[in-house]
Amino acid sequence: MHLPHQREHEEFHPLGMAQRQLRESVERLGLPDEIHAKLAHFKRIVVVAVPARMDNGCLEVFTGYRVQHSMERGPCKGGMRYHPAVDLDEVCALAMLRTWKAAVVNIPYGGAKGGVDCDPQQLSRGELERITRRFTSELVEVIGPEKDIPAPDVGTDAEVMAWMMDTYSMNRGFVVPGVVTGKPLAIGGSAGRSDATGRGCVCILEQALAAMERLRPGLKVVIQGFGKVGRATARLAAQAGFRVVAVSDVCGATQNPHGLDIAKLEAYAEEHGTVAGFPEGEDLERDQVLLLPCDVLIPAALEGALTGDNAEQVQAKLILEAANGPTTGEAEAIFAERCIPVVPDILANAGGVTISYFEWVQDLQAYFWSEEEIHQKLYQVMTQAFGDVYCISEEKKLTLRQAALDLAIGRVAEAQALRGIYP
């Protein structure tokens, strides 16, 4: 039986960090205690057993989670993560952050997050499908296009979303494409979804560098993580004129001070399962990429990558968080002292939830837009969001994270106050 993974160090308690950020923002905004109390609690926490028959005939029981933080501004929205380190603390923290992420880009969603404590790399596609279908069956009453809309995350993909949609639809007796986003195009997915988070990251990066008067051709970019988000960010950053000089994945890292050929690197990683050993780069230790001299460091893997232990050695001039929660509070304080701006996750990687919203809208009206239209709409949303956050940051002398949190939490608090409490 797979019991929930426990975290050992206080610094890696993401929920504690999320609650602290909320408390500090509430104090800056001068919000009433009753608003804070409701924002600090979760609407619903679901923990389920996920029994599944393995290919060898044995039964294994995994633990599945779905946490819904807020529905003040609309139905909940958030990814489904399959990873052996998934636990309730992490899922709760990410659900809360997802509420702020939707609000900062002014999308009518609340936040949710879910996952199963399994390792998809050790599972066959058949095992993965059986786990997904059983997990979805356990959640049929709490998800839905008007309630809570899952999406892909670490360890899940469009096919997993297809299984979830099909399982939910079979239980309802009719096709419900709007129950998930990130689906294949053939069953109601949206054009532009696969690169959405990376495209949003590059848009925000360009906006941030321009606002700080640092934008120039050939800036050196280092990316930690070469999964769905890291690959798209690297490719689109290179296309935008940035020089991606190093990337890492779970197995290793590669660097080239003259710039990596991202198209060749993607093909190499696809064939070999890692960027390590790339013939046009120099191998280095996986975590060493975080400490390389560069103009922009983009953590695009899991949370807690930048900590009090390594923040002093970081040589980047700007950090853009493509991952969720990659910077601990202690590291953030060190970066502030060193005058290294951090573009926070709830703004930088909101391209994914934005295009998920577009997909949901298209599913509900059964009318789909072109990829060009979607890119244009994404650019408009992300540009507006960055402008709103940057203005607050400059006006109130706040960090970009503080400004983004204040904007988002203020919007959710306003909705909560307007709606009141029933009964």
So which residues are the catalytic ones?
113
Q: What would the two tokens of residue 386 be?
A: 């960055």
Q: What would the two tokens of residue 97 be?
A: 């952050």
| Largest pairwise CA distance in the chain | 65
Q: Tell me which residue of 215, 286, 301, 218 sits closest to 255, measured CA to CA.
A: 286
Judge contact between 104 and 347, C-beta under 8 A.
Answer: yes
Give phi and psi for 44, each to the nearest 5. Answer: -155, 135
Q: Tell me which residue of 161, 223, 218 sits closest to 198, measured CA to CA.
A: 223
Query: Strand 59-68 vs strand 44-53: parallel, antiparallel, or unpaired?
Result: antiparallel
SS3 107: coil
Q: What would the two tokens of residue 48 be?
A: 């389920």
Q: How far apart are the first and last CA of the chain?
A: 42
Q: C-alpha dihedral over 199, 205, 206, 209, to 10 degrees? A: 180
Q: How far apart are CA 293 and CA 306, in angstroms?
A: 15
| List of residues 6+ apart from 183 with CB closer than 8 A | 158, 161, 162, 165, 177, 189, 359
Q: What would the two tokens of residue 95 be?
A: 């659900």
Question: Cα 164 vs. chain centroid, distance in angstroms?
Answer: 19
| List of residues 6+ apart from 113 with CB closer than 8 A | 65, 66, 67, 78, 79, 81, 91, 92, 94, 95, 98, 153
Q: How far apart are CA 66 and CA 88, in angstroms?
A: 9
